[in-house]
Amino acid sequence: MQQPGMIDGLGNDAPLRGHIASTARLASGAAALARGIEPRCAPLDEAWESWTEALGAWARRREMAVARVDAAVSRIEEADADWARSIHRCAPQLNWGTS
């Protein structure tokens, strides 16, 4: 079962959106509280903490995904360069480019 604040797979930000929506609702309630009832609200503090944890987890997962894509692109570019060097070395033996 997915826990609040956990992002389920790359690109799925539904849990984060849920946290943002609940935080917005609590923030509007907190604004009413700030107008005179109470200066602090424990549910708001908990929601804020949960939201910032979810946002941090999402950012870390995104950074890891970007790093994996960058590494894959580097490997593809390296393999392409190796292939081009191999073809260049083999071309004279295969009589490529001599006609």
Identify the pLDDT of residue 35: 65
How many angstroms separate the Cα of 87 from the Cα of each of 80, 83, 92, 93?
Answer: 11, 6, 9, 10
SS3 content of the chain, % helix, strand, coil (to 5): 80, 0, 20
Domain ranges of the chain: 14-94
Per-position b or e across 60-76, b if 16+ CB within 10 A of its CB: eeeeeeeeeeeeeeeee
The string of pLDDT tens digits covering residues 30-69 is: 666 666 655 466 777 788 888 888 889 999 999 999 999 9
- The model carries a pTM of 0.45
pLDDT beyond 90 at 74: yes
Longest CA pairwise span in the chain (Å): 90
pLDDT beyond 90 at 78: yes
Residue with the larger pLDDT of the pair 80 and 24: 80
The string of pLDDT tens digits covering residues 44-54 is: 778 888 888 88
Identify the pLDDT of residue 1: 45
